[in-house]
């Protein structure tokens, strides 16, 4: 599949990271020393994508500046022989094309995608939800593009989640299972109540969709959470006779869209980074000792209290 353009919806307020996101776009919060959206673009480029449409809103101008040259800074670094500090981002700027489209009102993920309709003619959409960073041997989006080309259909990424978590995701009902990782979708439901979820296969932030999704999103009613939902648009594609497959991506998914997930991602990435792995491991071992000590003290204190109350 040659004709693929990426869409990255990055227009949300990022309320879970307030007050930081009052001025810093959530997508620029760092995982170690690179903004989270940097990892997304790398995955796109490594999946063979060159064109990136980023949906932005007020207060997101810094994303545009990040993916652009900065001559004064580059000259200064050159003088001090420190150009390597920008080498990662310079490569991206030289390789990829960026188009920014403003979503005037935040009416939901489906609406954000629909906002990009004029930037597409016949290309397929490779949608990346930037909260989800996926690591693994083969880039996540490359895996989806491969399935979409082979099966000539829409493909969404899914992963198994616990029963208690299904109401936080879009969930699929399976029509047919082709292999341990590949399914044909019968129905999609956005954030179903736990007792109404048709499976525990949750949609995660990667999709390859036909451009017909724009028509499917047109005139869609407000859905779950009072928002225009992409999941409902894909359900419309199904109702219009298009095939939708779900694929369990091979790799690890990090949810950087919530502070706890973002923290865990930083720890995991630091443990895997040769610059920091030794030190961070040492630090975690020290913490572990402190925690055991604290637990011991708490238990001892509790025992003493129990004895006093007898």
CB–CB of 181/155 below 8 Å? no
CB–CB of 146/50 below 8 Å? no
Q: Check binding of 14 to ligand G1P (CB under 6 A).
A: no
Shortest distance, CB of residue 129 to ligand G1P, whole angstroms?
Answer: 5
Choice between 189 and 280, CB closer to ligand G1P = 189
Shortest distance, CB of residue 21 to ligand G1P, whole angstroms?
Answer: 15
d(CA 2, CA 16): 37
Choice between 25 and 205, CB closer to ligand G1P = 205
Strands in 16-130 per DSSP E: 30-31, 34-35, 51-56, 97-102, 124-128
3-class DSSP state for residue 179? strand
d(CA 65, CA 89): 11
Binding mask 167-206 for ligand G1P (x = CB under 6 A): --xx-------------------x-----------xxxx-
Q: Check binding of 55 to ligand G1P (CB under 6 A).
A: no
Shortest distance, CB of residue 163 to ligand G1P, whole angstroms?
Answer: 15
Block residue for tokens 């990040």: 66
Shortest distance, CB of residue 125 to ligand G1P, whole angstroms?
Answer: 15
d(CA 110, CA 297): 51
Q: Is the CA virtual torsion 256, 59, 111, 44 positive or negative?
A: negative
Specify the stretch interacting with ligand G1P by CB under 6 A; choose among 39-47, 133-141, 228-236, 241-249: 228-236
Shortest distance, CB of residue 18 to ligand G1P, whole angstroms?
Answer: 17
Specify the stretch interacting with ligand G1P by CB under 6 A; choose among 31-39, 229-237, 259-267, 296-304: 229-237
Judged by CB under 6 A, how many residues of this single chain contact ligand G1P? Answer: 14
CB–CB of 56/112 below 8 Å? no
Which residues would be at the binding site for ligand G1P (CB under 6 A)? 109, 129, 131-132, 169-170, 190, 202-205, 229-231
């Amino acid at each position: 599949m040659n004709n693929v353009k990426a869409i990255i919806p990055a227009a949300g307020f990022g309320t879970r990271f307030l007050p930081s996101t009052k001025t810093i776009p959530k997508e620029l919060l760092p995982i170690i020393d690179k903004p989270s959206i940097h990892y997304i673009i790398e995955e796109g480029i490594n999946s063979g994508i060159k064109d990136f449409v980023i949906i932005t809103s007020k207060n997101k101008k810094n994303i545009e500046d990040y993916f652009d040259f900065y001559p004064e800074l580059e000259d200064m670094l050159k003088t001090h022989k420190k150009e390597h500090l920008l080498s990662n981002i310079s490569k991206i700027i030289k390789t990829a094309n960026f188009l920014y489209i403003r979503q005037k009102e935040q009416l939901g993920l489906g609406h954000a995608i629909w906002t990009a309709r004029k930037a597409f003619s016949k290309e397929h959409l490779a949608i990346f939800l930037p909260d989800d960073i996926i690591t693994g041997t083969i880039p996540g989006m490359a895996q989806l593009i491969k399935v979409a080309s082979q099966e000539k259909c829409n493909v969404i990424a899914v992963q198994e989640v616990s029963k208690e978590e299904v109401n936080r995701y879009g969930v699929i009902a399976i029509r047919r299972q082709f292999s341990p990782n590949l399914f044909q979708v019968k129905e999609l439901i956005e954030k179903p109540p736990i007792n109404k979820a048709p499976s525990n296969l949750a949609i995660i932030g990667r999709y390859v969709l036909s451009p017909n999704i724009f028509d499917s999103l047109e005139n869609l009613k407000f859905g779950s959470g009072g928002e225009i939902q992409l999941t409902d648009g894909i359900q419309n594609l199904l109702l219009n006779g298009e095939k939708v497959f779900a694929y369990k991506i091979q790799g690890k998914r990090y949810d950087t869209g919530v502070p706890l997930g973002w923290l865990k991602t930083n720890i995991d990435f630091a443990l895997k980074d040769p610059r920091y792995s030794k030190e961070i491991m040492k630090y975690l071992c020290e913490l572990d000792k402190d925690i055991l000590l604290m637990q011991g003290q708490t238990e001892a204190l509790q025992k003493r209290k129990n004895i006093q109350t007898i």
